[in-house]
Amino acid sequence: MTEGLPILKLHAEATLPTRAHADDAGLDLYALEGVTLEPGAGAHVKTGIAIELPAGHVGLIADRSSLARRGLTTLGGVIDAGYRGEIGVVIWNVSRTAQSLQRGDRVGQLLVVPVRTPAVLQVAELNDSARGTGGFGSTGR
């Protein structure tokens, strides 16, 4: 049996999230209003909905490939389980041309993912690992 995700429409014009296919990981999120993003500019795009995530889960807002192809990317997409406000999608235009989004356009996808929340434990040192402190570019190209 599939669990439901409680969703509240905050605006009559809002579109509920959808999946194009039953086995898609993400729920498509829709713009409540249109916006034009100049090159190098960002916008907070409202969806007109609020959600009630299950305890022990996080909502992650991810790019849609159709927007990424146009140079539009999402930023800062973490929704905590206790958040009950309007879902917004921060979109940044990294292309060289202005990009427009219309009301009702799909602007991101919501992934509902289980999350662990361990307590912070300060230690004097960390255990060794095969990788060690190797970071950016340490494994080659």
Residue at 91 is within a domain: yes
Sign of the alpha-carbon dihedral angle for 20, 22, 28, 30: positive
Residue at 17 is within a domain: no
In this structure, are residues 99 and 37 in contact, taking their beta carbons and an 8 Å threshold?
Answer: yes
* pLDDT (0 to 100) of residue 1: 34
Q: What is the CATH number of the domain that holds 76?
A: 2.70.40.10
Give, in degrees to the nearest 5, the angle at Cα 89 between 93 and 59. 130
- Spell out the per-residue pLDDT of the chain, length 141, in tens: 357 999 999 999 999 999 999 999 999 999 999 999 999 999 999 999 999 999 999 999 999 999 999 999 999 899 999 999 999 999 999 999 999 999 999 999 999 999 999 999 999 999 999 888 877 777 776
Residue at 120 is within a domain: no
Residue at 90 is within a domain: yes
22-60 in b/e form (b: 16+ CB < 10 A) is eeeebbbbbbbeebebeeeebbebbbbbbbebeeebbbb
Domain that holds residue 48: 28-114
* pLDDT (0 to 100) of residue 139: 72
Residue at 41 is within a domain: yes
* pLDDT (0 to 100) of residue 83: 98
